[in-house]
Amino acid sequence: MGGRVEAAAGIDGFQTKRIRSGVETLLASARVSSDIRGRLQSHGIAGVQARHYDGHDYLDEKREALALLLHLLQEQSANVVHIKTA
C-alpha cells in the first residue's frame, strides 16, 4: 500500500512512514506518554504486567491523545504550503 500512497502524493521523496514518526514526535513534544503513543500506533506493549494483568483498553486516554493531536495539527495548518500537481 505504501508505494501507491507515496506515488499519489506527488511529492518527490515522500514516505508514508514519516507520518507515523511525525505523529510520534508531535505527541511526545506535547508530553503524551510513550505508553499511550505506542498504544495509538498499535505497537505491542511488552512485559508480563501489560500482557497478562492489565485489561484496561485505554480508549479514553487514546481519544484524549487523538483530540490533542487534532488540535496541534489545526494550530500548525496556517504554516502548511499547498503543493499543486500537474
11-55, pLDDT tens digit by residue? 677 777 888 898 999 999 999 999 899 889 887 677 777 777 888
How far is the C-alpha of 46 from the C-alpha of 13, rounded, in Å?
33
CB 40 within 8 A of CB 58: no
Q: Which three cell numbers stand for residue 74?
A: 489545526
Please tell me the predicted confidence (pLDDT) of residue 19: 84
The b/e string for 48-70 (b: 16+ C-beta within 10 A; e otherwise) is: eeeeeeeeeeeeebeeebeeebe
How far is the C-alpha of 82 from the C-alpha of 10, rounded, in Å?
12
Please tell me the predicted confidence (pLDDT) of residue 9: 60
Q: In the predicted model, what is the mean pLDDT of residues 6-15?
A: 66
Please tell me the predicted confidence (pLDDT) of residue 8: 53
Domain residue limits, the chain = 20-78
pTM of the model: 0.70
